Amino acid sequence: QKEVEQNSGPLSVPEGAIASLNCTYSDRGSQSFFWYRQYSGKSPELIMSIYSNGDKEDGRFTAQLNKASQYVSLLIRDSQPSDSATYLCAHARGRRALTFGSGTRLQVQP
Amino acid sequence: ETGVTQTPRHLVMGMTNKKSLKCEQHLGHNAMYWYKQSAKKPLELMFVYSLEERVENNSVPSRFSPECPNSSHLFLHLHTLQPEDSALYLCASSQEFGYEQYFGPGTRLTVT
């Protein structure tokens, strides 16, 4: 089992819809969770971090964490074509580098 | 975002060349990382440094040699590379382990 599992996609949503990206992880001791956005040919950009169970909202983005079920999700409201990218989920446990998933490719159709 | 810079941005080198990639972070972070990202593949962690000390080396071939002279600078020295080493090489930094990592723009390396 991979440490971080993401559906590779592509996930296709129409412009204006809610995009829902999911990530599951195997390490129950994971303490911090992150979502990165990566445009083709560019480096990953941090968009959200979440440390506690529940929801965290930042603009059009909402991260949801459920440690008991070992999943973290990212909701993008009012999706725009400019949101089309690969979204990477990452987590950390203690004094270690982040562990990244393979990413989900999101396509927002105009 | 200019917190983490990388040079050069693009590099073409032959298999017998020696070159170096440079990374500099202006964020006052204590940890720095090198990643490799090949086409349509996930990020591969190569090396981790904490306060100039290498703390992780993920079975990377010896033709890649990292150097961290201080907490703001990180180098990746390259020699006798193979065509399969062509990839995007990313540097990142974080305040400490477990905190957000911030990436540089990457160096697109092509080995001919």
Comparing alpha-carbon positions, the chain B residue that sits nearest to A102 is B42
Q: Is B98 on the interface with A (CB under 8 A)?
A: yes
- Alpha-carbon distance A97 to A51, whole Å? 16
- The token duo for B31 is 């940890």
Tell if the CB–CB gap between B56 and A97 is shorter than 8 Å. Answer: yes
Residue contact A97–B48, C-beta within 8 A: yes
- The mean pLDDT of chain B is 92
Q: What is the pLDDT of residues B8-60, one digit of tens each?
A: 999 999 998 899 999 999 999 999 999 999 987 889 999 999 877 777 777 89
Q: Which residues of A touch B48 (CB under 8 A)?
A: 97
Report the pLDDT value the prediction gives residue B58, as an integer from 0 to 100: 74
Nearest to A100 among B31, B42, B106 (CB): B42
Q: Which of A5-9, A18-22, A70-74, B29-33 has the lowest mean pLDDT?
A: A5-9
B13–A contact, CB cutoff 8 A: no
Instruction: Look at residue B2 in the predicted model and tell me its pLDDT.
Output: 72
Q: Tell me the three state secondary structure of residue A16.
A: coil
Decide if B33 touches A, using CB distance below 8 A.
yes
Question: In Å, how far are A3, A59, A79, A110 from A100, measured between CA atoms?
Answer: 8, 24, 24, 29
Tally of CB atoms within 10 A around A96: 16
Q: How confident is the model at residue B97 (pLDDT cuts 50, 70, 90)?
A: confident
Model confidence at B5: pLDDT above 70: yes
| Average pLDDT taken over every residue of chain A | 93
Distance CA B29, CA B92 (A): 10
When pLDDT is cut at 50, 70 and 90, the band that residue A1 belongs to is: low
Confidence of residue A2 (pLDDT cuts 50, 70, 90): low
Query: Which residues are within 8 A (CB) of A98 and not within 5 positions of it... i.e. 6 or more apart?
Result: A34, A90, A91, A92, B94, B98, B101
B99 part of contact set with chain A, CB < 8 Å: yes
Question: What per-residue string of b and e applies to A50-60 under the rule 16 or more CB within 10 Å gives b?
Answer: beeeeeeeeee
Question: Region A58-87: what's the mean pLDDT?
Answer: 96
Contact B75, B22 (CB under 8 A): yes
